[in-house]
Structures are given as C-alpha cells and as structure tokens.
C-alpha cells in the first residue's frame, strides 16, 4: 500500500501526549461517558493508571517513555524507548506496525491518531496505527494534539500555534506562542506557555486566557474544557484542575509522574 511505503520510507518517532513520573506508582470525539480515564508514566518508565483513589500498574512489565489516552478513553497508545508505537488492548500491549517509529503521538479513538515524526514531519492514521499517511506542512512541527477529527492543534518549531478544523489549517491567534498543547473535545484546548504558565482556549472567543496566574505546569492533558484537565508540576507532582483551572488539586500528594494523559 502506498501509505505504508511512505511510512516505511520515513520512519518516525512519536512522543505521546505527555510524560510524567511517580515514585510509588502515569482527546475526544465525542465523549461517550463521564468516567475519567487517566494514565501516567514515571521517571523510570513504568506505566500506571488512576482508579479514582490511587495509582496501580495494569502491566508491571510495561515500559514506555510516553503515553496517549484517546478521547474515547478505552484506546491507549504508547511509545517505547526505541521509539516504537504500541497499543493497549485491555490486557496487554501490542505493536500494530513494527516499522512505525515516532517522536510524539496523540490518539483520538480506536481508528484515528496523529503523530510527529523525524524532522518535524506529521502523520495521521485512520486504521488504528496499521498504516500512516503524511500530512504536509511548510514548517517543522514539534507537538501535535487531537481532540477529534475537527479539532487538531500543532506547535511549530518557532512555537506558533496552528489549528485544524477538519477542512484546513490556520493560525487562530498569530501572537500566541506555546511549549506544549492539549486539545479538548471539539472546540477548545489548553497550553503551556513561557515560564510554565497555563492557558486555555475556546474557539467562540478566539482568545487564550490564564485562569490562574499562579499555576505553573510542565505538562498538561485535557479531555474537555471545564472538567477533565490534569497536569504535571514541578518535582513531578500531579495535579487536577478544579473549576476550569481556577484552582488545582493534588489527588494523591505522594504521586510523582513525568507525564499524564486523560480521556473518557
């Protein structure tokens, strides 16, 4: 298949939505239920899952450097230390395409995912990671996050923020710059800017606001604009947004992650 040949020719490394670490214990098209799904990664690459009260290890043998929970939270993809892309089937991890490599990945559902490859190239799959098609840009992309087929965000190498609405890419706010981004639902996103400041965006006002100027995070993941937003702060502490980011709670003060990823 031509798409597979293209993918094989340009092997790419995918960094999954967000990295985190825990000493004892790591987007949506539509939301199918209201049960949060939260996974995380520790500094020693162990993979953990939040059960609402504490973190546990679904597969103690698993090691990932990044993880991405789909907006339909039953779909999980991850990246190993040798940059291979693996998928969770509910019991164990498997590799849909052993020749697929990447630097960052964002999962939507069982079929759709986006990835950043070598040299800032961007790829998309619509069949669960079996084959990948390149999406061409005139600039290098460093980060990508998909909240649905019509809500995909990307960060360029000069930190500009681009958005795909299902038809075309544009730059909603030409003055905005970000280090990381997480797409939520169909029309919103959260981002981390300079000095670890935390911002949120809603398409209806085309504006990035800072709900809590005191909040500082190193990584963020959201599944909807108001309710399910988690992040990693300094010293790998794990936080959950309250009241759309006006406050941040620490569900388990003992948890330490380098990345967290959420879905429903």
Among the listed residues 118, 225, 202, 105, the one whose alpha carbon sits nearest the alpha carbon of residue 154: 105
What length is written for the chain? 264
Backbone angles phi, psi at 215, to 5 degrees: -75, 130
> If one looks up domain 2-263 in CATH, what number appears?
2.120.10.30
Tokens of 207: 């504006």
pTM for this prediction: 0.85
Q: Coil, strand or helix: which one is 101?
A: strand
Tokens of 25: 């214990």
In order, the DSSP letters of 32-50 are --S--EEEEE-TT-BEEEE
Q: What is the pLDDT of residue 225?
A: 72
Q: What is the pLDDT of residue 24?
A: 35
User: Which residue shows structure tokens 């987007």?
Assistant: 27
**Domain residue extents for the chain:** 2-263
Block mean pLDDT (10 aa), the chain, length 264: 34 32 34 75 98 95 96 87 94 95 94 94 96 94 94 96 93 94 88 97 86 97 87 98 95 97 92
Alpha helices in 143-204, H assignment, sequence order: none
Q: What is the pLDDT of residue 108?
A: 94
Tokens of 202: 């809603």
Q: What is the pLDDT of residue 34?
A: 64
Q: Coil, strand or helix: which one is 3?
A: helix
Distance CA 177, CA 192 (A): 9
pLDDT tens for residues 9-33?
333 333 333 322 333 333 333 334 5
Q: What is the pLDDT of residue 196?
A: 98
Q: Which residues of 18-42 are buried (b: 16+ CB within 10 A; e: fewer)?
A: bbbbbeebbbbbebeeeebbbbbbb
Alpha helices in 101-142, H assignment, sequence order: none
Q: What is the pLDDT of residue 204?
A: 77
Distance CA 122, CA 29 (A): 20
Q: What is the pLDDT of residue 25?
A: 35
Distance CA 1, CA 43 (A): 38
The percentage of residues in the chain with a pLDDT greater than 70, rounded to a whole number, is 87
């Amino acid at each position: 298949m031509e798409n597979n040949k293209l993918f094989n020719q340009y092997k790419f490394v995918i960094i999954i939505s967000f990295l985190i670490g825990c000493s004892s214990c790591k987007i949506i098209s539509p939301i199918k239920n209201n049960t949060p799904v939260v996974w995380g990664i520790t500094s020693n690459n162990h993979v953990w899952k939040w059960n609402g009260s504490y973190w546990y290890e679904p597969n103690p043998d698993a090691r990932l450097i990044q993880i991405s929970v789909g907006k339909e939270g039953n779909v999980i993809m991850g990246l190993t230390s040798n940059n291979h892309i693996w998928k969770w089937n509910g019991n164990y991890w498997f590799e849909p395409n052993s020749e697929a490599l990447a630097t960052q990945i964002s999962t939507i559902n069982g079929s759709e995912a986006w990835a950043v490859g070598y040299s800032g190239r961007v790829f998309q799959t619509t069949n669960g990671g079996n084959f990948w098609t390149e999406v061409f840009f005139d600039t290098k992309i460093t980060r990508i996050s998909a909240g649905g087929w019509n809500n995909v965000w990307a960060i360029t190498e000069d930190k500009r923020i681009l958005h795909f609405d299902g038809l075309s890419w544009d730059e909603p706010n030409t003055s905005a710059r970000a280090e990381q981004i997480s797409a939520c639902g169909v029309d919103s996103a959260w981002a981390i800017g300079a000095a670890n400041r935390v911002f949120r965006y809603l398409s209806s006002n085309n504006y990035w606001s800072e709900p809590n100027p005191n909040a500082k995070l190193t990584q963020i993941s959201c599944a909807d604009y108001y309710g399910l937003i988690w992040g990693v702060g300094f010293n790998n502490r794990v936080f959950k947004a309250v009241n759309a980011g006006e406050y941040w709670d620490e569900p388990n003060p003992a948890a330490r992650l380098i990345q967290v990823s959420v879905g429903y």
